[in-house]
Amino acid sequence: MRLRSVLLCAAALAALLGGIALAKDKDRFLPPPPGPDRDYYVARVAPWIDANCASCHRQEGAGGFRLEPVRDGVSEERRRRADFERVVPFVNRQVPWESRLLLKVLEPADGGDPHVGGAFLEAESDDHDMLLDFVSGATPANVAPEVWFENTEVRAKPGEKVIVDGRDSYDRDIEDMDKLAYWWELYARPAESRVAILDRRASRLEFEPDTGGSYVFRLRVGDGKVWSAPRAVTVEVFDRVKVVRTKPGGISGLDDLEEANLRRLRRIYLDVLGRSPTPGEALAEGRRSIKSLVGNVLLRAEMGRAWVEEVGIRFGLYDDFRPVSEEATDLALRIPAENLPPHVVESVLARDPSFLRRHPPGRPLAEAIGRLLLGRAPTVDEIVASNRLAAGEAVTLEGLGSVSDPRAWLVKVLDSEAFLRASIQRRLARFLDSGDVTRRFGRALGAVREGNKAWREYLQSVLLDRAYLNRRTLRPKGAVTFLRSLFIDLLERKPTDRELAALVRAIEAMDGETAAFAALVRIMIDSGEAPLPLLVDIEDAPRWIKDRFLRYLGRPPTVAELKAYGQVLLHPQGGPEVVVQALLTGPEYACR
């Protein structure tokens, strides 16, 4: 009771102080999630590892995971205990279900990572549960509980009661799930919101969003012995948004919108959220003021996720190299909540231990620091220095002074003025042409130095600038935005981070700007997953073609286009699929 009063007072104080966007008070009342247990490993996991992993990973040259070499006179028990120490770095306590130990052996269809040795487990198998229990902190006497949500993304309107149900959470070694304890935290909310959690211990969370934006709640569950790792659920709240699902042959109604408004909306979605809007979103937001739209979009959790995904993919931090630090895991949510500037966002990901694993000391690190962080090729001196650092020698670098090890070099670069400038330029280049980036750079730098709020205001001013909104020339979408847009426009869903990484990897292996995407469009169309109409479902062919132009390109067709697309639509070898394929593989769709 006393605790609850304290929490209520804290929430009220927060509200009085004007809305703290990111609540960081939560975990101080709970112990951290349990780490992997040695005894459980030796008893349950080690036999499985010995049977499936040891033949490769007990030798050198089988990736970064290496088990204890076999030595004469060392008992099996002792060797397994030594193996445990080598396994622990592959466990992520904060997000155990994303531990590399688990994902490397899981079927790709169940979300597993690529693995040279192949996949050994399906998500439904007992062995998978055993490994999941291990990474979640199971001991021989107790299995840790796990949070589970049916949906981790919920949509709502302001003022509408939202229920987030935590009762799908479970514990494999207790029968009565009513014995589970719950602990909710409000992890992020829009800056103007005053929403607070009234009952942190309820199994279902109820709240009424008071403003549009993203609300992030995290839940932990306890079984009386340990508390699980937290799992987040995002509630996206938008005014007037309702999911409009027209029949495949139907008309979305986008022709009711002014063309200029649709074009601006698409530009902001493509640049900030890294995807095209759905027809429902376009209809709901195409009529609101541009100022309100920009303010709202910059507050969304999706904006943070899109940015982190793009930087992560550019840094090569996917699959085996997925970020593992708590700072990196929370980064996407902190971006809209704290208005983080570019150098902070990139720096958090570059400081993650995965970055140095992905770009090991020696020439790869010199290349990464030069090209990825400083926006230039590495100098000969830097390559030599990186090789010497890899050999354990200390070096002196121009402008950075004495550096004793590769991590110290990386940290000094991330703290440098050159990195600050390069990161701002990269972020501005997302929205502006190179000439405008140069012209506006001074103001952007000033805003970043002034603080996070000034940076957000500056970014808003860029997006509200007439020159930006009315620019006629187009710019290439880039791989990630192209892929996300294809998923939205064809499959009507966002890609998962694994799908995105796998497709980026495939597309990077191919030459040319657009051919790989064109092949992908064909796969999606032939999959049967894309809700495309049959010719007989289309009642008004010219209007349907115009609707598809508005959906995919944000403009109506010219007279010549309408005629040509109409002919293809009605041709025996053509049809709606070829019309859609032509639009999504044409040069204009490749641009934003």
Partner 1 sequence: MNVRRIPLVLLLLLGAATGVQARGGGKAKKPAAPEHVVLVILGGGVRTQDLLDPELMPTVAAMATSGHVVKQVASGAPDGYAAAARILTGKRAGLDGAAKERPAHPTLAEIVREQRKLPGEKAWFVSFEGEEQLHLAHSTHAQHGAVFAPSVAYGQGAFAQPMASFLEVLGRPVPMEPETWAQLRRLRLLSRNARRSVIPREIDAGLPQAERVERALLRELDRKALLNRGPNPRDEEATRAALTVLEVHRPVLTVIRYGEAEQAQASYAAYRRVLAANDAGLARLRTAVAADPRMGGRTTFVLVADRGRNEKPDAQGRLAADDASKQRRHVAVVIDGPGLARRPRLKGPRSIDDIAPTIARLLGCRMPHADGTSWDSLLAAK
The residues binding partner 1 (CB under 8 A) are 59-61, 108-109, 114, 116-117, 362-364, 367, 387, 390, 472-476, 498-499, 502-503, 505-506, 509-516, 518-519, 522-529, 558, 560-561, 564-565, 568, 571, 573-574, 578-579, 581-583, 585-591
* Residue placing its CB nearer to partner 1 in the complex, 202 or 582: 582
The CA-CA-CA angle for residues 538, 541, 547, to 5°, reads: 90
Shortest spacing between CB 543 and partner 1, in angstroms: 18
CB of 429 to partner 1, least distance (A): 14
CB of 591 to partner 1, least distance (A): 6
Beta bridge partners of 19: none
Q: Smallest gap, in angstroms, from Cβ of residue 587 to partner 1?
A: 4
Nearer to partner 1, 442 or 572 (CB): 572
Q: Which is nearer to partner 1, 1 or 560 (CB)?
A: 560
Residue 89 or residue 478: which is nearer to partner 1 going by CB? 478
List the one residue out of 549, 551, 590, 591 whose CA is nearest residue 569. 549
How many beta carbons lie within 10 A of that of residue 380, not counting itself?
9
Shortest approach of partner 1 to residue 488 CB, angstroms?
A: 16
- Which residue number, 341 or 361, has a Cβ lying nearer to partner 1? 361
CB of 572 to partner 1, least distance (A): 9
Query: Smallest gap, in angstroms, from Cβ of residue 144 to partner 1?
Result: 29
Select from 573, 572, 576, 544 the least CA-distant residue to 557: 544
In whole angstroms, what is the distance from residue 153 CA to residue 244 CA? 18
| The three-state (H, E, C) secondary structure of 302-336, written as one string | HHHHHHHHHHHHHCCCCHHHCCCCHHHHHHHHHHH
**Is the Cβ of residue 52 or residue 387 nearer to partner 1 in the bound state?**
387
* Closer by beta carbon to partner 1, 81 or else 498: 498
Distance CA 37, CA 16 (A): 44
- In the bound state with partner 1, the residue whose beta carbon lies nearer, of 253 and 556, is 556
Residue whose CB is less far from partner 1, 404 or 496: 496
Can you read off the two tokens belonging to residue 73? Answer: 């006179």
Q: Minimal distance in Å, beta carbon 535 to partner 1?
A: 15
Query: Which one, of 332, 330, 329, lies nearest residue 354 by Cα?
Result: 329
**C-alpha distance from residue 282 to each of 8, 112, 211 (Å):** 39, 35, 20
* Amino acid at site 70: V
CB-based contact 328:349 (threshold 8 Å): yes
- End-to-end alpha carbon distance in the chain: 54
Residue with tokens 């030594």: 82
Burial of 137 from C-beta contacts in 10 A (0-12 / 13-18 / 19+): buried
* Beta carbon of residue 44, minimum distance to partner 1 (angstroms, whole number): 28
Angle CA(7)–CA(8)–CA(13) in degrees, nearest 5?
Answer: 95
